[in-house]
């Protein structure tokens, strides 16, 4: 019983540490600001939503890649396309309260010519 309780406490403290480390920066564009980004899958192996989403890189910017926990595609589709061949236009959602991660709402999808 002690071992199970210790494991649960350890997992909760790790969850809290991950949440603090990956909280979205406050200076992200607001909902009204659409930006253009490229994306790639997050291949890290930790619990969702902290890992397993996407890394977005704002076009024409030297800003670091931004992690998002998911894409809200609305009526858009990225099926059948290589992720590195797409440019997305959209905006970040507000951070969710538990982990502080954000999603990216996709307003338009553009494909690069090969």
| pTM > 0.75: yes or no | no
Residue 11 pLDDT: 40
Low-confidence ranges of the chain (pLDDT < 50): 1-14, 16-27, 29
Domain ranges of the chain: 2-111
Kindly report the three-state secondary structure assignment for every residue of the chain.
CHHHHHHHHHHHHHHHHHHHHCCCCCCCCCCCCCEEEEEEECCCCCCCCCCCCEEEEECCCCCCCEEECEEECCCCCCCCCCHHHEEEEEEECCCCCCCCCCEEEEEEEEECCC
pLDDT of residue 91: 95
- pLDDT value of residue 21: 47
């Amino acid at each position: 019983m002690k071992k199970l309780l210790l494991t649960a406490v350890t997992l909760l403290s790790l969850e809290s540490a991950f949440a603090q480390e990956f909280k979205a920066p406050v200076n992200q564009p607001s909902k009204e600001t659409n930006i253009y980004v490229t994306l790639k899958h997050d291949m890290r192996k930790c619990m969702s939503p902290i890992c397993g989403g996407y890394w977005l890189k704002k076009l024409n910017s030297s800003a670091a890649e931004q992690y998002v926990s998911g894409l809200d595609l609305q009526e858009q589709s990225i099926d059948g396309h290589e992720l590195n061949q797409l440019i997305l236009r959209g905006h970040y959602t507000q951070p969710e309260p538990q982990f502080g991660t954000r999603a990216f709402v996709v307003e338009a999808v553009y494909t690069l010519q090969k």
